[in-house]
A and B are shown apart, each in its own frame.
Chain A
Amino acid sequence: MPEVEKILETRELNVNMGPQHPATHGVLRLVLDIDGERIVNVKPVVGYLHRGVEKLGENRTYFSALPLSDRLDYISTMNNNVGYCVAVEKLLGIEAPERAKFIRTMVAEMNRISNHIIALATHILDIGATTPFLYSFREREWLLDLFEMLCGARLTVSYPRIGGVRNDVSQEFLDSLYKFTEEFPSRINEYETLITENRVWKKRTVGIGVISAEEAINWGLTGPTLRGSGVNYDVRKHAPYDAYDKVDFKVPLGKNGDCYDRYLCRIEELKQSNRIIKQCIEKLPKGPIMADVPKYVLPPKDNVLKDMEHLIHQFVLITKGPTAPEGEVYVSTEVPKGELGFYFVSDGTGRPYRMRVRSPSFIHVSVLPRLCAGHMVADVIANIGTIDIVLGECDR
């Protein structure tokens, strides 16, 4: 008899998912313990995309470390840039002029749209619907073209600067962006027609990956992933930076904290972002685009080309970096994925003594075991999609 028992013995199976798996949104490796089709445990293994961004930042001046923030979350680069600049500005004790603030808010919301579009599209694609993916890339392309018109790059923009933005917006850009905001709500309707009521989609997302409000807070979730559980927390509302206190928008909340509610939150955020962009265009004031703080901000180019003082000043600033006062600062901003925090320790030189990035994706990955436990293997994909992670930011 013991022989038979040995043969019939059931045990959990250990399966590797990733790091090269199309549905893990990058190089995420998950070790799944499965009992038949049920997930018993999920162990995320991160670090495959580690580039040492924090250390690299410490070897560069505050100016030169800016493009590193592009490479954290390469889908929402503009938001990362803005987050970096806001943090350094706080450290230096300077403030961007009004016009620059509005421009930054505007471009950050553009990128929020393009990020949410990708998050939804890939989430939906993973679950099995191809059409919304293709449709939403149409709008994303439009936004990327606008970025190119604005600053010459489509993805890694490096457009905001410490103390303002790199260049002013052109009339042509504003006009095309306004046209986009007029058009975009009808495009959102298209996605909604295809997906929101679709029974297959609902079967795959309603009641999957449920997390209660209290648990979500305890896990440290932020962004739409948290708001899907009904917690009203948005850095843009609670600690407004840039021009967010001057525009009117709502923070959409979910109820049940499942994949479907998080999806609805993201769709609603698309609409709100669209509203913010529109208001920013309409309210855009005239004025300078860079703070007038010669100690920390590069002089305008035409002055550099013309006279000696500015030229020397440019040399000193670029080679030494902005000599920040000693101290430390932590500033968090709302990026599409959640709350991105930059923490700087300054020792009074032009380079940060320590640069630490609090990236939402890293924290969201850690909640995967909790979300997946007890569900089917196929729902792991749905859960990865719904927490909206980018591994570049997670591994840094």
Chain B
Amino acid sequence: MKTAKEFLKTIFFIEILRGLALTLSRLFTHAVTRRYPKVKRPAQPGFRGLHALVRDRDTGKEKCVGCCLCAAYCPSQCIYIYTSEDEDHKKIVDRYEIEVLRCIFCGFCVEACPFGAISLTEHYEYSDYSRDAFYMTKERLLSNWDKYMAGQKGEGYFRKFWRPMSEDFGTPEKQATWRKIQNAK
């Protein structure tokens, strides 16, 4: 047996009307979507996008020494490194290549590298018509650095992530904890 109240609710479509009122009220709020190609969403610092090899500021060459640790750590095994020796038995990196199509952007290479020589930039729009465009050679990786990470950005990059320097998070006094937010809704 339905009570009278329930009966009234049923014949007047109360719950449906309440839902409609909610959707109607949303008409007068701001849109949460973005007009994507025109309005880009800024990537957060430390975003794991396209790779770049760090260019040493002093020598103007890559920082990488060809130790192959990143290649050993990479879960999808998509880093290829070829090295040789020069006259005074110094290791030189002949080829450093990343097959970006196979990369899963886990960032393990950055974590492994003991020289801070490889980074993931904030660039994520790199679709292309050919697969060759995603085979990153050393030159292209270096130019990625110039394009997306030059200046301040590149210097701050290694600080933010990858179990960073103690000056940022490591010391307990500076660690983030809960604090009352004044004007939270």
A152 in contact with B22 (CB, 8 Å): no
In the complex, what residues of A have CB within 8 A of residue B184's CB? 178-179, 182
| Chain A residue nearest in CB terms to B14 | A197
Residue from the list B48, B67, B160 in contact with A153, Cβ < 8 A: B48
Q: How far is the CB of B167 from chain A (nearest CB, A)?
A: 9
**In the complex, chain A residues 150-208 whose Cβ is within 8 Å of any chain B Cβ:** 151-153, 156, 158, 166-171, 173-175, 178-179, 182-183, 190, 193-195, 197-199
B73 in contact with A174 (CB, 8 Å): no
Residue from the list B22, B72, B116 in contact with A319, Cβ < 8 A: B72
| Chain A residue nearest in CB terms to B49 | A152
**In the complex, chain B residues 147-185 whose Cβ is within 8 Å of any chain A Cβ:** 158, 160-166, 169-170, 172, 175-179, 181, 184-185
A127 within 8 A of B: no
Residue from the list B67, B106, B165, B170 in contact with A156, Cβ < 8 A: B106
A31 within 8 A of B: no
**Interface residue stretch chosen among B39-47, B50-58, B79-87, B125-133:** B39-47
B170 in contact with A300 (CB, 8 Å): yes
- Cα–Cα distance between A153 and B46 once the two chains are bound (Å): 9
B106 in contact with A167 (CB, 8 Å): no
Q: How far is the CB of A358 from chain B (nearest CB, A)?
A: 22
Question: Contacts A190-B22, A311-B114, A315-B69; is A198 near B16 (CB within 8 Å)?
Answer: yes
A141 within 8 A of B: yes
A152 in contact with B48 (CB, 8 Å): yes
- Cα–Cα distance between A68 and B106 once the two chains are bound (Å): 10
Among the interface residues A168, A173, A175, A182, which one has the most CB atoms of the partner chain B within 10 A?
Answer: A168
> How many chain B residues touch the partner (CB < 8 A)?
49
| Chain B residue nearest in CB terms to A312 | B114
Q: How far is the CB of A106 from chain B (nearest CB, A)?
A: 11
In the complex, what residues of B have CB within 8 A of residue A178's CB? 178, 181, 184
A65 within 8 A of B: yes
Q: For chain A, what secondary structure do more than half of its interface residues adopt (helix, strand, loop), or is it mixed?
A: helix
In the complex, what residues of B have CB within 8 A of residue A179's CB? 181, 184-185
- Cα–Cα distance between A197 and B74 once the two chains are bound (Å): 50
- Cα–Cα distance between A370 and B24 once the two chains are bound (Å): 41
B111 in contact with A298 (CB, 8 Å): yes
A3 within 8 A of B: no
B88 within 8 A of A: no
- Cα–Cα distance between A151 and B22 once the two chains are bound (Å): 35
A373 within 8 A of B: no
Residue from the list A60, A141, A166, A183 in contact with B111, Cβ < 8 A: A166
B23 within 8 A of A: yes
B64 within 8 A of A: no
- Cα–Cα distance between A156 and B75 once the two chains are bound (Å): 13
A67 in contact with B108 (CB, 8 Å): yes
- Cα–Cα distance between A304 and B18 once the two chains are bound (Å): 60
A287 within 8 A of B: yes
30 cross-chain CB contacts under 8 A: A64-B75, A66-B75, A70-B106, A148-B43, A152-B47, A152-B107, A158-B108, A166-B111, A166-B161, A167-B161, A167-B164, A168-B176, A171-B176, A178-B181, A178-B184, A193-B18, A193-B19, A193-B22, A194-B19, A199-B10, A199-B15, A282-B178, A283-B178, A284-B178, A287-B175, A289-B163, A298-B111, A301-B164, A315-B67, A318-B73
Assuming A153-B47, A305-B114, A305-B115, what are 9 further A-B pairs, CB within 8 angstroms? A64-B108, A66-B75, A167-B164, A168-B175, A198-B15, A281-B178, A298-B111, A314-B112, A318-B73
